[in-house]
């Protein structure tokens, strides 16, 4: 059974179609990378799935129409990490992570579920944020802040993670850490990940499947190496992506110190 199934999804603003007749599935243990040029409709698909915008078509989570699932239940099962998270108050790291358990409470005055503390401790530990748990998020670096919100998602313990350019504004060290943490999370049963990414190298390195978009339509879909083949990327990006990537690698050779022509 698929974790998420999207059928004939279309979004338009007035007469302008942003995405047109998009269909795909994500199964447990899959990491779907959504890629494509600017304006291809990547983020629009995410907003539709998470019920942020109106759309035509259907989206099913575990064979249930997402539009019919109550928000609290949806929050327990689908976690979303945006490319930027702004915090207006001086919460501590632990307080932000604890918010991930809010959807599991049965009411505003209900006691915390028994497993809450264990989930929070585990989330802080695997993201390397335990030592910073009492620190204000206002003092964190960009990488530490993203890891804090990733810890919040891990504490939330959803079945599906939806990541909107999760490594945006992160340096190489934090990019590597972020994707490795998500990969470890995905290794557990009955979990799946959808990521919007611009970095094709990261998409091919970590994704199991890919959805290549162009002008609001699917240009290719399937296993990552098939969907992001040299020929398909060249057709969408209007350039030889493989040759470009290979050309950049030569500047890591000690004998090459010149600029790219």
Architecture of domain 4-228: 3-Layer(aba) Sandwich (3.40)
- Please say if the pLDDT value at position 147 is more than 80: yes
Inter-residue contact 87 to 128 (CB < 8 Å): no
Query: Which of 28-37, 158-167, 170-179 has the highest average model confidence (pLDDT)?
Result: 28-37
Q: What average pLDDT does range 119-145 have in this prediction? A: 92
d(CA 117, CA 46): 30
The model carries a pTM of 0.90
d(CA 173, CA 124): 18
d(CA 156, CA 101): 5
Greatest distance between any 2 Cα atoms in the chain: 66
Positive or negative: CA dihedral 139, 143, 147, 150: positive
Q: What average pLDDT does range 21-44 have in this prediction? A: 96
d(CA 228, CA 222): 9
């Amino acid at each position: 059974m698929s974790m998420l199934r999207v059928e004939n999804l279309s979004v338009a603003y007035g007469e302008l179609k942003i995405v047109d007749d998009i269909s795909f599935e994500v199964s447990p243990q899959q990491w779907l990378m959504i890629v494509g040029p600017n304006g291809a409709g990547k983020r629009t698909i995410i907003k539709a799935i998470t019920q942020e915008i109106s759309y035509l078509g259907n989206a099913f989570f575990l064979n249930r129409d997402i539009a019919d699932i109550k928000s609290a239940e949806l929050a327990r099962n689908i976690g979303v990490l945006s490319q930027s998270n702004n915090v207006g108050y001086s919460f501590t790291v632990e307080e932000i992570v604890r918010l991930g358990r809010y959807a599991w409470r049965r009411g505003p005055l209900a006691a915390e579920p028994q497993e809450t503390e264990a989930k929070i401790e585990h989330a802080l530990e695997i993201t390397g944020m335990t030592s910073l748990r009492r620190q204000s998020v206002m003092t964190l670096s960009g990488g530490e802040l993203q890891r804090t919100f990733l810890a919040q998602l891990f504490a939330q313990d959803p079945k599906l993670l939806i990541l909107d350019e999760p490594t945006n504004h992160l340096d190489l060290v934090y990019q590597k850490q972020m994707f490795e943490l998500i990969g470890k999370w995905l290794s557990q049963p009955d979990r799946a990940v959808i990521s919007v990414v611009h970095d094709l190298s990261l998409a091919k390195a970590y994704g199991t499947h890919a959805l290549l978009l162009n002008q609001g339509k699917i240009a290719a879909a399937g296993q990552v190496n098939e969907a992001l083949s040299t020929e398909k990327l060249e057709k969408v990006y209007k350039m030889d992506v493989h040759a470009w990537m290979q050309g950049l690698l030569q500047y890591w050779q000690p004998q090459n110190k010149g600029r790219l022509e």
